[in-house]
Amino acid sequence: MRSGFFKRYFITGLLIWVPLAITAWVLNLIVGTMDQSLRLLPESLHPQNLLGVNVPGVGALITLLVILLTGVAAANFIGQKLVRWWEGLLARIPVVNSIYKGVKQISDTLFSPNGQAFRKALLVQYPREGSWTIAFQTGQPGGDVANHLTGEFVSVYVPTTPNPTSGFFLMMPRAEVVELDMTVDDALKYIISMGVVAPPVPAATATANTLTISRSAQV
């Protein structure tokens, strides 16, 4: 009896502390990495030398400020010319050119406001017929690949669980994928939780189900 009592409350405590600990660890990792921007400043301007104590997060604020100012500068005519000059310079360096172009294409696709990457959550049959999983539409096949595909296809990213940063890239017929009435955030939570945290049922679907149950009860 006491063993079951201890186990129940111990697991309850774990469910509270584990997410908090992981969140704190991830935030500490991000802030610690961004704090490296303090190395760009002279030693005399570091908070530890100015205030006598180390202030975590100052470097993160500097990093965010630099990113914001870069965006503001690149939005005007002179900034755009500087960006084109910088990209032209990198294009002349053989190895750097391939790495930079690949990373830039991915970042433009993921972060561009007009991009369609990861805008739709899909239900697809994977890794075999009859077995379903959640995926994300990343676009449409292009280049010479499209010349060898008959019909309408979509590019799909199938993430792994519980780490969605790794996964598989597939090209599937559009007729074989099901678009879900689910946000990308809800779909990611569903994947990371290994199906434990189910997304909420859309209001329209819930209303339709309620009406169906009511009619069945009346009959």
- Looking at the structure, do residues 12 and 71 belong to the same domain, yes or no? yes
Q: What number is the average pLDDT over the span 39-45?
A: 75
- Rounded distance, CA 192 to CA 136, Å? 14
Q: What number is the average pLDDT over the span 116-135?
A: 88
Q: Does residue 96 belong to any structural domain of this protein?
A: no
- Looking at the structure, do residues 186 and 126 belong to the same domain, yes or no? yes
Q: How confident is the model at residue 152 (pLDDT cuts 50, 70, 90)?
A: very high
Q: How confident is the model at residue 177 (pLDDT cuts 50, 70, 90)?
A: very high
Residue 124, pLDDT above cutoff 90: yes
Q: Angle formed by the axes of helices 94-111 and 77-91, to 10°?
A: 140
Q: How confident is the model at residue 213 (pLDDT cuts 50, 70, 90)?
A: very low
Total tally of structural domains belonging to the chain? 2
Q: Which two tokens stand for residue 10?
A: 């111990």
Q: Angle formed by the axes of helices 58-74 and 2-34, to 10°?
A: 50
